[in-house]
Structure 1
Amino acid sequence: MESVEYQPNSRLAAVYFNGGNANLLRIHEQVSLGDLKQQLTQINRRLNPGDPRTVTDVEYRRPSGTSNNGTLLFTNVKLRNNGDVITMFFVFSEFRSYVPIELDAKLVRSVENILSCMIPPNRPRTYDEIAAPMVRPEEDEVEAISLSDP
């Protein structure tokens, strides 16, 4: 694993893209939610060259207390706006030296990317070709069943 160098105005973070393995890296503080998503998308593309997916949702594990044996307990919190991002960095300012921010980033492909991967039809299909599998059987092909017979 590569060492993570110190960068001023940044925080150590363990990022899980779509629930995969943790990627330890530094993320910049004092950013908007949109900037954070863009930052994480760029990091994913550096880790996975050619990956067209973008980050759409981000959650973090917020310390919520300690258990009886002294271990930290966490609660998952979804980042919904810029205020949530500021709160996340503020909460973790208490743990600057030893606790990385754990982020779950959801990656999705754009509609344009999905459509570009589809195989286009050789020619447009006619109404008859589309409707053929959906045509009801003729009356003489249907057998009448009485529900009153045992």
Structure 2
Amino acid sequence: MESVEYQPNTRLAAVYFNGGNANLFRIHEQVSLSDLKQQLTQINRRLNFRDPRMVTDVEYRRPSGISNNGTMLFTHVKLHNNDDVRTMFSVFSEYRSYVPIELDTELVRSVENILSCMIRPTRPRTYDEIAALMVRPEEDEVYAVNLSDP
């Protein structure tokens, strides 16, 4: 079994990519929101080789209390800016490393990636070719409209 050394200034996080299964990782503290998204994108690319998607949204499950039966309650908080990221790490600093930060992330493809996957025509189409592909209304669907009627 491979031993994993402790890394200072990191927190244990359970990351859910697009609502999938949890993946446990150590994420760096004291980062900006864009750095956190980039860090999570790199983690996804290590998990799913050649996955071109990027993390766009990050939510964390903030502890909000304890229910009557003793289970911990959570509130979903979306990270909007760097202050939200600092607050998230501050909230979890009181739990030491026993409780992982639970992050829900949304992965999307970039426009460039989508365009690169499209099959492009070998030459531009002419007006006649485009017109032939357009759907024409049937005869019974066509009717005259008098614009002078109220």
* TM-score grouping bracket, smaller chain normalisation: 0.7 to 0.9
Instruction: Mark the CA change 1:5 to 1:76 in structure 2 (over 3 Å): closer, same or farther.
Output: farther
Which residue is 1:142 aligned to? Answer: 140
User: For the Cα contact (< 8 Å) 1:60–1:101, is it kept in 2?
Assistant: yes
Instruction: Mark the CA change 1:2 to 1:23 in structure 2 (over 3 Å): closer, same or farther.
Output: farther
Structure 1 unaligned runs (5+)? Answer: 146-150
Which residue is 1:148 aligned to? Answer: none
Q: How does 1:123-134 map to 2 (within 5 A)?
A: 123-132=123-132, 133-134=134-135
Q: Would you say 1:98 and 2:98 are equivalent positions?
A: yes
Structure 2 unaligned runs (5+)? Answer: 144-150
CA RMSD across the alignment = 2.2
How far 1:4 moved relative to its partner?
Answer: 5.4
Which residue is 1:75 aligned to? Answer: 75
Instruction: Mark the CA change 1:2 to 1:121 in structure 2 (over 3 Å): closer, same or farther.
Output: farther
Instruction: Mark the CA change 1:91 to 1:128 in structure 2 (over 3 Å): closer, same or farther.
Output: same
Tell me how far apart the structure 2 counterparts of residues 51 and 97 of structure 1 sit (CA, whole Å).
Answer: 30
Letter paired with 2:20:
G
Instruction: Mark the CA change 1:121 to 1:98 in structure 2 (over 3 Å): closer, same or farther.
Output: same
Which residue is 2:55 aligned to? Answer: 55
User: For the Cα contact (< 8 Å) 1:4–1:24, is it kept in 2?
Assistant: no
Instruction: Mark the CA change 1:81 to 1:143 in structure 2 (over 3 Å): closer, same or farther.
Output: closer
Q: TM (normalized to structure 2)?
A: 0.86
How far 1:76 moved relative to its partner?
Answer: 0.6
Partner of 1:107, secondary structure, is strand
Partner of 1:105, secondary structure, is strand
How far 1:80 moved relative to its partner?
Answer: 0.2
Tell me how far apart the structure 2 counterparts of residues 79 and 86 of structure 1 sit (CA, whole Å).
Answer: 10
Task: List, as ranges, runs of 4+ consecutive aligned residues in structure 1 with deviation greater than 6 Å.
Answer: none
Which residue is 1:38 aligned to? Answer: 38
How far 1:46 moved relative to its partner?
Answer: 1.1
The count of residues paired between Structure 1 and Structure 2 equals 142
User: For the Cα contact (< 8 Å) 2:11–2:97, is it kept in 1?
Assistant: no
